[in-house]
Amino acid sequence: MIKAILIFNNHGKPRLIRFYQYFAEDMQQQIIRETFHLVSKRDDNVCNFLEGGSLIGGSDYKLIYRHYATLYFVFCVDSSESELGILDLIQVFVETLDKCFENVCELDLIFHMDKVHYILQEVVMGGMVLETNMNEIVAQVELQNRMEKSEVRTFLNSFL
């Protein structure tokens, strides 16, 4: 199970947070801070696994993260997930973002948090991996976007 997915930048500013277990808002912020603190002090050439985030989980949980340019993608997972599998999943997720936003950068995430959520929802659902095939994910996201566009068009047409 994935317990939480956090995306924040090099300064610890959250860009997307997705908890699959309830935490109150202040607790969520504390977890982000702590996670950022743990992750940011690590060099880029050390391993991508971290144990001992005391706020989430406990001993059964691991932080698995990847650092892309200005952003950290952190997954908090328990022992039922494969460590390398999750690293691959982060890669799939980022590549999907790249496809959907066309050369994704931090600004895309800043201004389109909702869209990033919709993409994530096609990858992970309720803490469990839903789909790992990038083409399938992109196809579903695009179909939904098209539906949204057609709704906006009919809405505008109703005024004219």
Partner 1 sequence: MALKIVKGSIDRMFDKNLQDLVRGIRNHKDDEAKYISTCIDEIKQELKQDNIAVKANAVCKLTYLQMLGYDVSWAAFNIVEVMSSSKFTYKRIGYLAASQCFHEGTDVIMLTTNQIRKDLSSPNQYDTGVALTGLSCFVTPDLARDLANDIMTLMSHTKPYIRKKAVLIMYKVFLKYPESLRPAFPRLKEKLEDPDPGVQSAAVNVICELARRNPKNYLSLAPLFFKLMTSSTNNWVLIKIIKLFGALTPLEPRLGKKLIEPLTNLIHSTSAMSLLYECVNTVIAVLISLSSGMPNHSASIQLCVQKLRILIEDSDQNLKYLGLLAMSKILKTHPKSVQSHKDLILQCLDDKDESIRLRALDLLYGMVSKKNLMEIVKKLMLHVDKAEGTTYRDELLTKIIDICSQSNFQYITNFEWYISILVELTRLEGTRHGHLIASQMLDVAIRVKAIRGFAVAQMATLLDNAHLLTGNTQRNGICEVLYAAAWICGEFSEHLEDPMQTLEAMLRPKVATLPGHIQAVYVQNAAKLFATVLRKHDGETESQAAQETSQLLIDRLPLFVQSANLEVQERASCILQLVKYIQKLQQKNVEVAEEVTALFAGELNPVAPKAQKKVPIPEGLDLDAWINEPPSESESEDEKPKAVFAKEEPKHSRSRHTEVDEKELARRREVRKQEQANNPFYIKASPSSQKVYDAPGVEHIPVVQIDLSVPLKVPGMPMSDQYLKLEVERRQKEKAERKKKEKKKKREKRGKERKADSGPESEEDITPAHQVDIVTEEMPENALPSDDDDKDPNDPHKALDIDLDKPLADSEKLPVRTHRPEALKSPAEDRDSESVPQETKKKSGKEKKKDKEKDRKRSKEEKKKKKKHKEVEEELLESQPEEAVQSEETKEAAAPPTSTSAEEVTAPSSAAAAVDTSSAAAPESEPDEPKDTEPEDTKSSKHKKKKQKKEKEEKEKKKKKRHHHHHQHHSDAGGEDSVQNGTVEEEEPLPPMSNYSLLAENSYIKMMKEDADQVYDIQGNHQDESKVVVSVIFENKSDSFLKSMEFNVLDSLNSKLQRPEGAGAHDSLTVPFQLPPGVSNEARFVFSVQSIIMPQKLKGTLTFIVKSDESSTHEKLDFKLHFTCTSYLITTPCYSDAYAKLLESGDLKGSSLRLEGINMPFHHLLARICFHHHFSVVERIDSCASMYSRSIQGHHVCLLVKTSDQTVSIDAKCDEPSLLGNVLDEIKQTFSKC
- Binding residues for partner 1, per CB under 8 A? 1, 14, 16-18, 20, 22, 24-26, 28-29, 43, 45-51, 80, 82-85, 87-88, 110-114, 117-118, 121, 125-133, 136, 140, 143-144, 147-148, 151-152, 155, 159-160
Distance (Å, whole) CA 144 – CA 106: 23
In the complex, what is the shortest distance from the CB of residue 68 to partner 1, in angstroms, rounded to a whole number? 16
DSSP codes of every residue in 74-128? EEEE-TTS-HHHHHHHHHHHHHHHHHHHTS--HHHHHHTHHHHHHHHHHHEETTE
In the complex, what is the shortest distance from the CB of residue 99 to partner 1, in angstroms, rounded to a whole number? 19
| Residue 48, helix vs strand vs coil | coil
Sign of CA dihedral 27, 31, 37, 38: positive
| Residue 67, helix vs strand vs coil | strand
- Pick the closer one to partner 1 by CB: 10 or 125: 125
Pick from 70, 151, 157, 57: nearest CA to 108: 70
End-to-end, the C-alpha distance of the chain in Å comes to 49
- Pick the closer one to partner 1 by CB: 91 or 98: 91
- Pick the closer one to partner 1 by CB: 33 or 99: 33
- Pick the closer one to partner 1 by CB: 40 or 140: 140
Distance (Å, whole) CA 32 – CA 8: 8
In the complex, what is the shortest distance from the CB of residue 71 to partner 1, in angstroms, rounded to a whole number? 14
In the complex, what is the shortest distance from the CB of residue 103 to partner 1, in angstroms, rounded to a whole number? 19
- Pick the closer one to partner 1 by CB: 70 or 140: 140
